Structure 1
Amino acid sequence: MSAAIPKATTTPARAISGCRRNRPVKAIRAATQRPTHKTVNMIGGIPQRCRGRDTGWRALCQYLLPPNAGSDLLCPATKTSWGPVRRRLFLALPAIATLPPPAAARPSEGFVRIEGRRFVAPDGTTLLLKGINLGNWLMPEGYMFKFERAKAPRQIEGAIERLVGPAAAARFWRTFRDNYIAEDDLRFIATVGFNMVRIPLHYRHFVTATTPPRFEGEGYALLDRVIGWARAHGLRVVLDIHAAPGGQTGINHDDGPGYPLMFYVPAHRRLTIELWRHIAARYRDDPTILGYDLLNEPIAPYHDVAYLNGKLEPFYREATAAIRSVDPHRIIFLGGGQWSSSFDMLGRPFAPNLAYTFHSFWASTRRDSIQRHLDFSYRYDVPLFLGETGELTDDWNESFRTLQERHGIGWSFWTYKNLDTPSTVVSIPRPADWDAIVAIADRPPARWGDPLPLPRERIDAALARYLEGTRFANGTIRWSYIASLGLKPAL
């Protein structure tokens, strides 16, 4: 049976002529639709002794199907009995049969999808994610400048502005974003064997500070450019909101006030969801985008944990619905609470194409360090993704990476480029006078007005050398780090 299922209710349909008890029944789509599934009633006609009497009609069973399913179905075998009565039907109805929604109800050309615990490439093979984070590019973090007090993006930006003034600071950041991640970087990432990048985003690059806010900003053009380079070099991209309106963690790297207000303030929550809807609409037809990581490291382990944990899955459900309203086939990554270390507050998957991401730094390289995540994965038959890890030795990198791979877990190490460190892919050279820059940036507010320890021209020169050092051509490639990830040790 290959005809499309007509739209109809469960009211009587056409009768089946003849006297064949095992005749297949026709599937008819119910009028009501659910947000992510439709109910399909199986309608069957059972002839009553085939003596010319009218045929009775009843719904024999129901299936829950993704809204794009369109093929006919057969009911399971149903025991029936009838007697010499008119317009009546006696049958033992089976229980409602529920088909789990397949991840690729309508697979689209070129898109990665989820099947059980696997990421599945467009050609049907299992895809093991091997990625690197593009940290610090659109989401600066103080330690990657060697700052200790100026940790959050707004603090780093304030420090640069105090050093050189607003106009020069604006030029600094434009050059920084142009240099830090360029096509040479994406080409190299692909050449050594990574197959994806994870891009942390700060919402302020995509939303204005006006009332009401508008979805505008330099972030869109910057992101379009990098996604284009990724596409050209065969890389997939995961987009990650690292800093949501109001903050989702309560620590410096969400650039909030030190408390996860996104979960408390309805306006922040709505804006975060609408930003995801806007991003999803922009990239809905681009299979380069592997998926959306809805919140980076939500809910610190020391802020109103019991209350906030109960808010995480409802947020994920609403954000997922918003994304799927404009982009139905994208993978969505759900991070656990307590800095993406625990899935205890999350239940069974509520939609197709969901993956679950955790972060782990400096952990044991034995299975017990990830056992609770494996338990969750097997319990619900969902894939895991190690979204951030690293910042340790090459030996640890290799051991922890191979632990993940033995259990089918893809990974994305932190981070691609950093200042003067062996624990990265490309190390930025530390410029002369950088210690003085750090000392100025880390001054407490009471000392912001103190005279600068360097003349302005030396400050300008130090910042200019730093910016030149962020170019791929001027960095130091850490080949041993790359080898520890099982990638090509040399070009």
Structure 2
Amino acid sequence: MKRFACLLATLCCLAFPLHAKDFLRAKDKQIVDAQGQPVILRGMGLGGWMLQEGYMLEVPQLGTQQVILARIAELIGEDKAQAWHQAWLDNHTTKADIDAMARWGFNSIRLPMHYALYTLPVDQEPVAGEQTWREEGFRRTDDLLRWAKANDLYVILDLHAGPGGQGNDINIADRDPSKPSLWEDRRHQDKMVALWRKLAERYKDEPYIAAYDIINEPNWGFADRADTNGCKETGNAPLRELLVRTTQAIREVDPRHIVIIEGNCWGNNYQGVLDAGLWDDNLVLSFHKYWSVTTRESIADWLALRDKHNVPIWLGETGENSNDWFSRTVALAEGNGMGWAWWPLKKIRYNNPLQIIPNPGYDKLLAYWRGEGAKPSAAEAEKALMQFASHDVNYANNVQHPDVIDALFRAPHSDQSVPFKRHVIAARGGRIAAIDFDMGRNGVAYRDDTPANHHISDGGERVVWNPAMAYRNDGVDLARAADGSLQVADLRPGEWLQYTIEVERGGRYRLHLATRGEGRASLQVNGEALPAQAIGEVSASFELLPGRNTLRVVAQAGAFDLLTLQLRR
């Protein structure tokens, strides 16, 4: 009996964690756990789930979610449009997505919330000044929290679309510009404050909720309406007032959770917001970073705020760039003691961990919306839209991009490349597709003259680092051939690609490069350089060791495309 009791005690220890998840808190310049140990949040934002933005669905011309839904209703009717939206909410983010995030290495999730899933808009309230609560948003938040807890991940609640809309960038908040904004109608602000109090009441005892990010990317000119997005604002008094008021409402019911605040100008302009000091001892300042250089100087303003106010800072939203930029931005953030949340998990385009591949009917619908194709029938549109929302968007049918995950977790901290695909060279030789070069940062796995988009910093045009916008997100030019296949395009002097290969049988091999164009290239085999040769004549002979070897193709002159590398004994 004593032995059984010991066994039962052991099983209980295995079945239940010895310690509950810690409530996180702000301590001086760090986010810490219950033991006071620093915590680096490595997160992903679930953009496109509760709040759709046109660019994620390849309809930037439609912009806001409400316009997208209206255009869908024009095709298939209001009831079916609402059914489509419910299918989207059911399938865009599921437990499978959260399980994958945990496998990849994320420890947190940023949930971009649309207020209208939680409460009615002010102009739809049956009784003016009161709040009608909708179970839809709370239920889906509870679902996400359960999935996160099953994977030991924190959740950060982010009010992404506030009542009335918090800025002139209307897509990010689903704002109707014909109606008063959050800043122009006190009822919207009252609703926002009430919503956060309601959320705090619901989750006040939940340590897996890491923080409340109380309003995403305010962008509004308070003193000068011509300052469209509030980037020149020096006072920001209405913003501070709302942040303070919301924090106080949260603290009436929840003294423990971190409150995250964001400045004007898409979260980055804190002028005036902190002049009277911090109003709470558990605040974190968030900033957002897009399309800028990745030097320490690029975040100097926020580091200065951290030092001045002795408060943690958090890179609360970033992404939409190349893998090289991703790696350098993660290294920049973590090297300066701050966590990050990427954006987004999935969309139709390729530069995220998951890619949605739309069905042909949806592509035809996009052509119609662009004015480039015929209007589909209601039946055709419904079939395409429901397949998109019920099938295409689901994790099981998404394309996974391991190069993006590598860029976020391994490459920021490594000066070594790793294979994108396993290249096994048999005894008689083998063929390697040129597009399957190694993974790693620019200068480690490859070198390209335009590895990322820095147009915010340099004032230039947006750079497309991969013109094909397909297959992988590295800063290497890819292009489609006439048959639809992909190839490395326009290799210029000084650019290079590295390939890690596994050789079954060591010995002497010849390498032939399949190319288009004119120029000269050289090879490096296991770090040893071979003489440059004219393109079309590169068929060098060299020794390969059994097992792992590296090959590097270096452009020396001209400009050429690279299709394949063929190794023969």
The TM-score with structure 2 as length reference comes to 0.63
What CA distance in whole angstroms lies between the structure 2 residues aligned with 1:352 and 1:365?
Answer: 30
- Partners of 2:110 and 2:341 within 8 A in 1: yes
Per the alignment, residue 386 of structure 2 pairs with 464
Query: Which residue of 30, 49, 55 corresponds with 1:118?
Result: 30
Report the Cα offset of residue 395 of structure 1.
0.5
Identify if the C-alpha distance between structure 1 residues 404 and 109 changes in structure 2 by more than 3 Å, giving closer, same or farther: closer
Distance in 2, Cα, partners of 1:227 & 1:313: 30
Q: What SS does structure 2 have at the residue aligned with 1:334? A: strand
Say whether 1:249 aligns with 2:141.
Answer: no
SS class of match (1:457): helix
Report 1:418-457 matches (<5 A).
Answer: 418-419=347-348, 421-441=349-369, 453-457=375-379
2:257 aligned with 1:327: no
Please point out which of 205, 215, 229 is paired with 1:295. 215
Mapped partners of 1:475, 1:277: distance in 2: 37
Matched with 2:158 is 240
CA distance 1:307–1:155, change in 2 (3 Å):
farther
**Contact preservation (8 Å) 1:160, 1:441:** no
Report Cα offsets for 1:294-345 as digits up to 9, x if no partner.
Answer: 1110024623844871211111111000001011100000001111122222
In 2 relative to 1, CA 332–437 (structure 1 residues): closer, same or farther, beyond 3 Å?
Answer: same
Which residue number corresponds to residue 540 of structure 2?
none
Give the 3 Å change call, closer, same or farther, for CA 137–148 of structure 1 in structure 2.
same
1:343 and 2:270 are equivalent in the alignment? yes
Q: Deviations over 1:115-166 (max 9, x none)?
A: 1111112343210010000001001111111002211111111122112111
Asked if 2 retains the 8 angstrom alpha-carbon contact of 1:150 and 1:442, the reply is no
SS of 2:360's equivalent? coil
State the shift of 1:486 in Å. 1.2
1:178 Cα offset (Å): 0.9
Letter of the 1:248 partner, please give it.
Q
Amino acid paired to 1:119: I
Identity of aligned residues (%): 29
Alignment of 1:79-478 (within 5 A): 110-208=22-120, 209-212=124-127, 213-252=131-170, 253-258=172-177, 261-300=181-220, 302-303=227-228, 305=230, 306=233, 309-347=236-274, 348-419=277-348, 421-441=349-369, 453-467=375-389, 468-478=391-401
Q: Secondary structure at the match of 2:182?
A: helix
**Comparing 302-311 with 331-340, which one deviates more in the overlay?**
302-311
Quick one: which of 382, 400, 406 aligns to 1:483? 406
Q: Distance in 2 between matches of 1:365 and 1:307?
A: 26
For 1:279, what is the secondary structure of its paired residue?
A: helix
SS at match of 2:99: helix
Q: TM-score, normalised by structure 1?
A: 0.73
Shift of 1:435: 3.2
What is the CA deviation profile of residues 169-222 of structure 1, one whole-angstrom value per residue up to 9, with x for unaligned ones? 121111111111101111111111100010111111111232333122411111
Q: Which one has a larger percent strand, Structure 1 or Structure 2? A: 2
> For the Cα contact (< 8 Å) 2:112–2:159, is it kept in 1?
yes
Distance in 2, Cα, partners of 1:349 & 1:335: 13
Inter-partner Cα distance in structure 1 for 2:365 and 2:169: 24
Q: Distance in 1 between matches of 2:302 and 2:137?
A: 33
Distance across 1 between alignment mates of 2:200 and 2:368: 40
Answer whether contact 2:212 2:257 (CA < 8 A) is retained. Answer: yes
2: distance between equivalents of 1:334 and 1:260? 23
Structure 1 unaligned residues grouped into runs of 5+ = 1-107, 444-450
Check conservation: 1:134, 1:199, Cα contact below 8 A: yes
CA spacing shift, 1:207–1:440, aligned 2, 3 Å: farther
Q: Flag the structure with larger Rg.
A: 1
Q: Distance in 1 between matches of 2:247 and 2:21?
A: 21
- Give the secondary structure class of the aligned counterpart of 2:212: strand
The alpha carbon displacement at 1:462 in A equals 1.8
Letter in 2 for 1:164: I
**Distance across 1 between alignment mates of 2:362 and 2:241:** 45
* Residues 1:166 and 1:260: Cα distance change in structure 2 (over 3 Å): closer
Per-residue deviation at 1:441? 4.2
1:235–1:304 Cα change, 3 Å: closer
Q: 1:260 to 1:328 in 2, by over 3 A?
A: farther
Distance 1:160 1:307, change over 3 A: farther
Q: Measure the CA separation in 2 of the matches of 1:300 and 1:397.
A: 28
1:429 is aligned with what amino acid? Answer: I
Q: Distance in 1 between matches of 2:160 and 2:220?
A: 14
8 Å CA contact 2:167–2:229 kept in 1: the answer is no
Q: Which residue of 2 aligns with 1:36?
A: none
When residues 109 and 195 of structure 1 are mapped into structure 2, their CA distance, relative to the original with a 3 A threshold, is closer
- Cα deviation for residue 460 of structure 1 reads 2.5
Deviates more, 1:341-350 or 1:297-306: 297-306
Change (3 A) 1:321 1:487: farther
- Aligned-residue CA RMSD in angstroms? 2.2
